[in-house]
Every structure is written in C-alpha cells, then in structure tokens.
Amino acid sequence: MTLKVTLITGRTINQGATIENKTSSDYQEATAYCELNSKEAGSLGKPGSHVRVKTPHGDVVVKLKENNGNPDGIAFIPMGPWANAVVDPDTKGCGMPGFKGIPAEIEATGDRILLMKELIARYK
Amino acid sequence: MSNVITDALCPFCGCMCDDITVVVENNKIIEAKHACKIGAAKIMGHHRIKAPMMRKDKNADFKEVSYDEAINEAARMLANSKRPLMYGWASVLCEVHKKGILLAEELGAIIDNTATVCHGPSTLAVHEKGLPTSTLGQIKNRADVVVFWGSNPVHAHPRHMGRYSVFAKGFFSEKGRRGRKIIVVDVRKTETAGMADEYIQVQQGSDYLVISALRAILAGQAAVVPDTVGGVPKEQLVKLVDTLKAARFGAIFFGMGLTQSMSRYKNIDNAISLTTELNSFGKHVIMPMRGHYNVTGFGQVCAWETGYATAVDFARGAPYYNPGETAANDVLTRKETDAAMIIAGDAGAHFPANSVRHLAKIPVVQIDPYWNPTTEVANVVIPVAICGVEVEGTAYRMDGVSLRYRKMIEPTHPTDLEILEKITKRVIEIRGE
C-alpha cells in the first residue's frame, strides 16, 4: 500500500552528535529513517523495515520508525542527505528551499538503504 | 601532561555554553564536562582528513598533495570562474569571515552562509519589522512565559532550557521552572512539547494563519476568528492570548518550523508583529534559535563589511543582496554557479539534491576538518584546524552577544585564516599574470 503524507525534515540530537562524522554508520543510523505514528507505520511494515519515500523531487529508501508524537499524515526524516534526496528545491523567492511541508508517498520496499557515498554518487 | 581548562566555550550550537570544563592530556582532549551530547561530540572530535587531496574526475579517487599544490589549484579554479559561490562559514570564527569576504570581493563572488537553509528568512523579516529582542540573560532573569514555536530545543539546543529559558533560576525568576509557563507550538508532539504546560498543535504550513488569529484576538477582534484556525480550536487560541497578556516578561523562541514552512519569512514577520503588539501589555521579546555557534557572527561581520547579512553578490564590483536571487540555492538551482568554495558548512549534506547535482558538475574546493558529502563532490579538499577548539577568536551567540573562544589544544592542521590568506594572495597573482 501507498501512504500519502506531508513530509517534514529537521534536527535531532543524534543527527547533531554525528554531524561531524558523516561517513560513519552512526550518522546513517541517526538520519536515514522516516518516523510515522505507530498506526500509520504499522500499515507499511514493522519498525526497522525499509520504506521508499517518494516526492515530485526524488525518492529515497530509509528505515521505518515509530513516533507517536506525529499526528496522522505527518512523516519526519532527520535533516541530512537522505532527507534532502526528496525535499523541494524551490526557494520561493527568499532563498530557502522547502525542507518542510512536502507532499510525499511512502511504501514498503525490500531495497537496501544507500550509503552516504552511494547516495551522493547518484548526483555525479 | 594533564591540563584542565575551566569555563571553556562550546563551539557547536547558538547557545555557546560557557561553562565547559575541558581536560587535556598530551594535546588531546579526553573529557568535555558539562557539555551536551552534541557539544561533547564536537569538542572531543575524531579522525580527521590528514592531508590536502585533489582529483580532476569526481568519480576518481583523491590523491594526497601538499598544501601549496592544493591552495594553488583552489586559487586557479576560483580565479577562472565567472560566477563563483563561497558558501558555509557557520563553524568558523569572525576573523575567518572577514578574510572570506575580502576574497569574495576580489573574486566578484557570491558569499552566502548556512543561514540560507536556516534563519535566512528571519533576517528578511527583521528588515521588514525590526526585532524586539533581548539577551538570553534578560530572559533567564525575568521571563515568566516562554513560547517555543516550531522549535525543539530538547534535540537542537539541549542546554538552552537549563541555562536560559525554562529551568534556569535568575534574579527575578528564582523559582526557575515552577515560576514559568512554557508553551510549545508545533506540528507534532516533540519531546519539548512533552515538557510544556500547554501544547498547541498546528496543521503543517498554517503558522501564518494561527499567528494572524492570535493578533486578531489580541486586538479585541475575537468575533472574526473562525472556530478552528490551522487545526487549532479558537478556545485554545483565546487562552494563549490571555496567558501572553498576563505575562510580566514573555519570550518567544522560534525555529525552522517557521522559517522552512510555507510562507517562510512572512511567518516571522507576523510573529514579530505579534510580539510588538504584546508590548502594549507587558514586556515581550522574540528570538531565533540559531543553529551553529557562529552563524550569527557571519551575519554580523557580513553586515558591517558589506551592508548585508548574507547572500551578498560582488559580481557588480559592489555588494548586492537579494535572497531569492542571490542565495546559494537560488544560483545553484539556476545553474549559474560555475565554481564553488564550500568552507565550514556542508552543502553536500544540507542542500536539496537538485543543488548538489549542480555542485557535482562544477569545480568544487572544500575547506573542512572532516570528510562529508561535500567531499564526495569536491575536486580539491583542504583540511584545517577546528575553530573554537584549536583556534582562538570571536563568535556571536544566538542573542548577538559576542564571546571570545580560547584555544583548547594546539592545532595539527593550518587554520582557515592561513588558507584563505594564501588563496587570496594566489588569486591576485593569477589575475595579474
């Protein structure tokens, strides 16, 4: 099934603590995931399984996580290269891209999560 | 030999905590007491890029080179560029900013800092409305109502609540947390929201509407406000206005929830107006929760050197500023940039894929202590000392208070300042040839 959501991205403490160590698996662990409340996450798979997040701007595979602070229809990915694979590049006339409020579709996938190097290699 | 440095400043976030005790043994930091998880990780450091590296083909492996070779190639790439971008500057000191701006002027470059993906819109709002604000000390000593709007300090500024805004006890706030009402406005119930007295859940992208409704209620026009605004029941909005009106000293802290959502700088413009209007009732201030420790400092230095806080374009020979046209992601989206220097910021990780795709196609010089996604798209990588840990200098806290960083240990790499001076000298030589 495909879940339609509004995607937001932002800082977390573990993202911050690994920000100067972006080649590490700790950084990937801290940023390459998508949070949904347990009801919506449950419709896609078990926590820890992989999901593909698709927006008009790209798609990315991340780990599924539960966070019951999220209301229905809100997905959160920590800021970083995985989130930025799908955010809106439009700066809306003020220099700021759309890091929050992006319409997105999420579905379960068997594909693996790309490493930081592999993710950036897609842009070369 | 062991050395203990007390009252050291943390070089991670805009809180710039100044109570860190650092234990140094044989020029290695072995402990950073009092620092939060993020600050400690930054101070302790880890394996660095050892030597400068270069490559022509971005898919090829890097080859280690000398500093002179890397500086020469960096200068050549920038001097040959028609539309260079110099981006980053968040985690270096003001002395480095000054040198960077001089190089930007020499190159006719665009110089932009990480505020462009952070509080850049807040600067635009301040142009429109000014900023009724204060120091963090004022808030610590006086605030009895504190609002966090689209901001999650538990994660992003872990010691902010303890040192300045929530739990801190001061001259007129001796009860600390018990004497303060904490309100969190957000689109999801964050850990910060979990600690608040009142949580107001806004529908994503509706902040402007909600602020407008609060202003209408404050102006005595509650009758025109619908039953629900942006997902918030009217009663909750009326209650919030009552709480704010009753405050002796109210402080609104705002984060990316406002700057990055729909309406961008207009959200902040509206929130500043709300704060100004609240000053008819009590003392009220508003403050952006600045991310990196010296992102504020770049805005200060750039404003006194060029007249503008960020996104300054020197292509015309004189500073020109128009975010939406001259910000880093504007020029990358338009594919105008034909060479980039990324210093003390990570465009590869924190710009949308669309911008990184363009960086991957043009010559890129990176000046940074660590390997990160920008390294993956770079041609020349110049590793440097870590400002605030290995280099002394000045930085500005999120409230605009300037503080002096001391050196904790001796650097093992050249400083950003030395590298920028050498690149500038070489650029001038190349242009003269």
Per-residue pLDDT reduced to its tens digit, B323-335: 999 999 999 999 9
Both tokens of A120, joined, read 């950036």
Alpha helix segments (H runs only) across B45-171 = 67-79, 94-107, 120-129, 136-142, 153-156, 160
How many CA atoms are closer than 13 Å to the CA of B335, on its beta-carbon side?
5
Same domain, B83 and B191: no
Confidence class of residue B17 from pLDDT cuts 50, 70 and 90? very high
pLDDT at B61 over 80: yes
Same domain, B160 and B173: yes
> Residue A106 — left, alpha, or beta (φ > 0 → left; ψ -120 to 50 → alpha)?
beta
| Average pLDDT of every residue of chain B | 97
Q: How many CB pairs under 8 A join A and B?
A: 185
Whose CA is closest to B384, among B365, B366, B364, B369? B369
Which of B250, B265, B288 is at the close of a domain?
B288
Mutate which: A24, A91, A119, vs B, most B CBs within 10 A: A91
Do the beta carbons of residue B267 and residue B258 sit within 8 Å?
A: yes
pLDDT at B56 over 90: yes
pLDDT at B433 over 80: no
Q: Long-range contacts: B426-429, Cβ < 8 Å, 24+? A: B426/B71, B426/B72, B426/B75, B426/B76, B426/B79, B427/B75, B427/B78, B427/B79, B427/B103, B427/B106, B427/B107, B428/B106, B429/B75
Same domain, B94 and B165: no
Spell out the CATH class of A2-121.
mainly beta
Measured distance between the N- and C-terminal CA atoms of chain A, rounded to whole angstroms: 32
pLDDT at B377 over 90: yes
Read off the pLDDT of residues B4-13 as tens digits, 9 standing for 90 and up: 999 999 999 9
Read off the pLDDT of residues B27-36 as tens digits, 9 standing for 90 and up: 999 999 999 9
For A85, which residue in chain B has the nearest alpha carbon?
B353
Same domain, B172 and B275: yes
In this predicted structure, what is the pLDDT of residue B46? Answer: 85
Which of B288, B323, B356 is at the close of a domain?
B288
What one-letter code names the amino acid at A111?
D
Same domain, B324 and B353: yes
CATH classification of the domain holding B95: 3.40.50.740
Q: Kindly list the distances between the CA atom of residue B352 and the CA atoms of A32, A79, B75, B300, in Å, as whole numbers in the listed order.
A: 15, 10, 27, 26
CA distance B409 to B44: 11
Q: How many domains does chain B have?
A: 3
Same domain, B39 and B76: no
In this predicted structure, what is the pLDDT of residue A48? Answer: 98
In this predicted structure, what is the pLDDT of residue A67? Answer: 98
CATH classification of the domain holding B189: 3.40.228.10
Alpha helix segments (H runs only) across chain A = 13-17, 25-31, 38-42, 81-84, 116-121
Confidence class of residue B100 from pLDDT cuts 50, 70 and 90? very high
Residues spanned by the domain of B343:
47-117+293-432
Complex ipTM value: 0.98
Read off the pLDDT of residues B378-415 as tens digits, 9 standing for 90 and up: 999 999 999 999 999 999 999 999 999 999 999 999 99
In this predicted structure, what is the pLDDT of residue B211? Answer: 98
Same domain, B163 and B284: yes
pLDDT at B183 over 90: yes
In this predicted structure, what is the pLDDT of residue B47? Answer: 86
CA distance A19 to A26: 10
Same domain, B143 and B249: yes
Same domain, B283 and B371: no
- Taking an 8 Å cut-off on Cβ atoms, the answer to whether A16 and B58 are in contact is no
Which of B258, B288, B318 is at the close of a domain?
B288
- Taking an 8 Å cut-off on Cβ atoms, the answer to whether A124 and B327 are in contact is no
Whose CA is closest to B260, among A35, A53, A27, A76? A76
Q: Kindly list the distances between the CA atom of residue A7 and the CA atoms of A84, B271, B333, in Å, as whole numbers in the listed order.
A: 11, 24, 21
Same domain, B109 and B237: no
A110 touches chain B (CB under 8 A): no
pLDDT at B1 over 80: no
- Strand-pairing partners, residue B382, are B367
For A23, which residue in chain B has the nearest alpha carbon?
B372
- Taking an 8 Å cut-off on Cβ atoms, the answer to whether B376 and A120 are in contact is yes
Read off the pLDDT of residues B188-225 as tens digits, 9 standing for 90 and up: 999 999 999 999 999 999 999 999 999 999 999 999 99
Same domain, B128 and B240: yes
Phi, psi dihedral angles at B393 (to 5 degrees):
160, -170
Query: Which candidate from B46, B352, B377 shows the least CB-CB separation from A21?
Result: B46
Digit-by-digit pLDDT tens for chain A (124 residues) are: 999 999 999 999 999 999 999 999 999 999 999 999 999 999 999 999 999 999 999 999 999 999 999 999 999 999 999 999 999 999 999 999 999 999 999 999 999 999 999 999 999 9
Same domain, B69 and B178: no
Residue B427 distance to chain A (closest CA, Å) = 28
CB under 8 Å to B57, separation ≥6 — which residues?
none
- DSSP-derived 3-state class of residue B146: strand
CB under 8 Å to A28, separation ≥6 — which residues?
A113, A115, A116
Domain range summary for chain A, segments of one domain joined by + = 2-121
